[in-house]
């Protein structure tokens, strides 16, 4: 019986960890799964604890170039897994290198209360280069919980 439990635990570990082994960069499915995990964590632990975990780069909320970002509906960053210096900042008027108001657009899309993908350009924390990014977001009543992939 002990052997079966050990095998089951190892199988579970492999299944949960396998996506990180497969590639240097995150995938769309992994971004969606990370958002779902973050939303569940907010629900179970409350926003204050969750935002601290996401910003603190807690195991399970940062994986390669994938990380959680939470924006309030006012455009303020509530959590940011790649740049803690952005937490608390009003980013509503932030633009990418092409002049796109990506936060303003994100908040407008989140106000519709449906999951969405958004395209813009942002600095990849792994390569340190500005790259095209696709961000998946799940709206909550007062925020949008997001994670994205860098498009190669």
Q: What is the C-alpha to C-alpha distance for residues 128 and 76, in angstroms, rounded to an integer?
A: 23
pLDDT computed for residue 24 by the predictor? 84
pLDDT computed for residue 15 by the predictor? 38
**Helices assigned H by DSSP within the chain:** 2-22, 28-45, 47-55, 102-110
Strand, helix or coil for residue 69? strand
pLDDT computed for residue 58 by the predictor? 66
At how many degrees (to 10) do helices 47-55 and 28-45 cross?
140
Closest CA to 64 of 31, 102, 15: 31
Strand-pairing partners, residue 63, are 66
Q: Whole-prediction pTM value? A: 0.81
Q: In terms of residues, how long is the chain?
A: 152
Domains, the chain, ranges and CATH? 26-150 (3.30.450.20)
In a structure prediction context, what are the per-residue pLDDT tens digits for the chain, which is 152 residues long? 433 332 233 233 333 434 444 578 899 999 999 999 999 999 999 999 999 999 977 678 998 889 999 999 999 999 999 899 999 999 999 999 999 999 999 999 999 999 999 999 988 888 899 999 999 999 999 999 999 999 97
Q: What is the C-alpha to C-alpha distance for residues 42 and 46, in angstroms, rounded to an integer?
A: 5
């Amino acid at each position: 019986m002990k052997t079966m439990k050990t095998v089951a635990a190892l199988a579970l570990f492999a299944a949960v960890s396998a996506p990180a082994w497969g590639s240097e960069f995150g995938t769309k499915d992994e971004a969606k799964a990370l958002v779902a995990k973050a939303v569940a964590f907010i629900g179970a632990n409350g926003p204050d604890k969750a935002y601290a975990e996401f910003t603190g780069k807690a195991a399970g909320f940062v994986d390669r170039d994938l990380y959680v970002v939470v924006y309030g509906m006012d455009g303020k960053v509530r959590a940011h897994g790649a740049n803690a210096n952005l937490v608390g900042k009003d980013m509503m008027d932030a633009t990418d290198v092409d002049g796109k108001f990506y936060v303003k657009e994100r908040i407008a899309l989140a106000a519709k209360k449906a999951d969405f993908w958004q395209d813009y350009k942002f600095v990849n924390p792994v390569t340190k280069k500005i790259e095209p990014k696709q961000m998946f977001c799940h709206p909550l009543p007062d925020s949008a919980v997001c994670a994205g992939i860098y498009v190669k």
